[in-house]
A and B are shown apart, each in its own frame.
Chain A
Amino acid sequence: MKTVGVIGAGMTLFRRRLQETGKEMCFEATKMALDSAGLTRADVDMVVNGTAPDAFDGVHMKGEYLADGCGGYRKPYTRVFTGGGTGVFSTIAGWWHVASGLADVVLVVNEEKMSSCQPHPQSVFAHIWDPILDRPLKPNLVWIFAMEMNRYMHVHGVKKEDIARVAVKNKRNAVGHPCAQLADPNITVDDVLASEVMAWPVQRLDISPPSDGASAVVLASEDFIRRRKIKDRAWISGVGWCIDSTMWTDRDLYFPEYVARAAKQAYKMAKISDPRRQIDFAEPYDPFDYKELHHLEGLLLARKGEAPILTREGVTERDGDLPVCPSGGLMGVGNPIAATMGQKIGELFWQLTNQAGKRQIPQEVHTGVAQAWGDLMQYGSVVVMSS
């Protein structure tokens, strides 16, 4: 298996609505990633696109539609989709193109344009449910997160204020992110607790909003990186992914077992036996504040029920012992589903190559983990990267 490195990254602004089309957003993010790697489209062997349900953009065959913007024109090109898990999974797909020896340079481009869907992308989320068991009950997507959050709180006796701390931390971290949609330097735990109740226990400020945006990374083989003397690179040292059943009412929602399985796969490959000691920082998927805690436990970076305590003690702050979502995460930067690769894989690259600017973690970091999550609370994708 070839060793694979990330050598460039780019992303657009994340906003509730962008004027650019999906293709145009992809072009901007891709061009930025290529420029930052010092490459052109001619250097690219293959292209992977990641994007979530077609119904957001309203274009079936969305992957094909976006191909030109992703640099895929007349090249080997594939679109991958694992729900919200796409944000990290597309990099795994890019990785296997290079690790297999098939390609030296691969572009991975993720896009989401949720604003096209009127009046709100929520109505399209209704189409993910089982047509016989769930849909007659007219579920709202926030319901399942509320149910998972409530179960997690119940099993471990977690207080809402400890969950709100995640929203505060990430929205404050996002202040240093040039693309952030929801950065807020002054937000407090009380603001989160006082925000409108949507589906208890979920309140307005517990949720990341829908967004438009695109992000891109460039992957290359170790041979290519050495031959071209590329200095800014971070190695992909482990990958893992796992799916559970769509029959989500058949499992205890307090712990994401599928994330733990994906993490174990990635850690084994990265030769990580003690993740809490060997991993310096993490970018777990945080579309809701409680998800960061849930995923830290799934990633085995905290014991079950311990993540809220670590958060309360400041361990997960940017200058803490285990910085978590130094990018500002989905809670602070925004949640254009697949394009959150920019805060996950992109942030790992920028942190590990010391390019994160105002967001740079003060202590030296050598190993980070990124994770995404999706579908009906059933999909985990994990990437470990090292300097």
Chain B
Amino acid sequence: MSERITKWPGVELSAADLSEGKVTQTRFRPNAKYAWSAGEAMSRFLAELQDGRLIARTCHSCKRTLFPPRMFCEECFRPTDTWTYIQDTGTIETFSVSYLDTDAKRIPDPILVGVISLDGASPKMGMMHYFGEMTKEEIRIGMRVKAVWKPWEERRGSVLDIKYFAPLPEGKK
């Protein structure tokens, strides 16, 4: 490899070569738009969010309470059986303190985001969401949290109907 090959192909460009038009180039801006039908399980899930509740599906074969809910069990490969409500409380499984937004741009105030395993669902099952009413120094794995819902009139049938998860006061379930 290193001995036999003397020239490795590739000509490096700088960001300015492109942005200042120093190299021949062509540009295109796609304008793609999508609408997703939410399907059977997610339609019910989103409707329940609007009512301030979290819903799961049970599988009678593996005895799991599946969240997010789905109409078939990927493990048993059979239709799931019943709808069941779970709690809007849970435990922080992991989190990040992010100084990046979706476009990898820096933001001064970090976003607290992570995974919450929810009470009533099978172990380790939960969702990603934001955290609030806590500082980046206070947040920790294992912290008990509870959903803070938007006011009813602001809910749209979206995971954003939950504003964030906040610390669950000691002694409360």
Q: Which residues of A contact B (CB under 8 A)?
A: 9, 11-20, 25, 28-29, 32, 36, 58, 115, 119-120, 122-123, 126, 131-134, 136-140, 142-143, 146-148, 150-151, 154, 176, 178-179, 197-202, 212-213, 245, 247, 249-253, 350, 355-359
Contact = CB atoms under 8 A, between A and B. Distances in A.
Interface in B1-51: 1-5, 8-15, 17-18, 23, 28, 30, 34, 36, 38, 42, 45-46
Nearest to B127: A249
Given A13-B12, A249-B115, A355-B3, A122 B128 contact: no
Contact of A142 (B2, B95, B100): B100
A131 B158 CA distance: 11
A32 B9 contact: yes
B163 to A, nearest CB: 12
A132 B125 contact: no
Most buried by A among B70, B96, B127: B96
B133 interface: no
B130 A140 contact: no
Contacts of A13: 8-10, 12
Most buried by A among B68, B115, B126: B115
A122 B99 contact: no
B22 to A, nearest CB: 11
Contacts of B98: 140, 142-143, 146, 198-200
B115 A147 contact: yes
A251 B96 contact: no
B148 interface: no
What is the size category of the interface that chain B forms with chain A?
35 or more
A-B residue pairs, 6 tightest by C-beta: A357-B2, A13-B10, A146-B96, A122-B104, A28-B9, A199-B98
Contact of A151 (B17, B30, B94): B94
A252 B12 contact: no
A115 B104 CA distance: 15
Contacts of B8: 11-13, 178-179
Interface string B100-117: 111110000010011100
Nearest to A19: B11
A342 B83 CA distance: 49
Given A18-B11, A253-B94, A355-B4, 5 more contacts: A36-B4, A139-B113, A250-B125, A253-B115, A355-B3
B168 interface: no
A337 B160 CA distance: 32
B2 A355 contact: yes
B88 interface: no
Nearest to B103: A123
Contacts of B3: 355, 357
Contacts of B14: 17
Given A245-B74, A247-B68, A12 B10 contact: yes
Contact of B96 (A122, A134, A199, A212): A199
A131 B97 CA distance: 23
B10 A25 contact: yes
A137 B130 CA distance: 8
A26 to B, nearest CB: 11
29 contacts: A12-B9, A12-B10, A16-B15, A18-B10, A19-B13, A32-B5, A36-B1, A58-B30, A122-B102, A132-B159, A133-B128, A134-B128, A136-B160, A137-B129, A137-B160, A142-B98, A147-B114, A151-B94, A154-B141, A197-B97, A197-B99, A198-B99, A200-B110, A202-B96, A245-B74, A249-B127, A252-B93, A356-B2, A357-B1
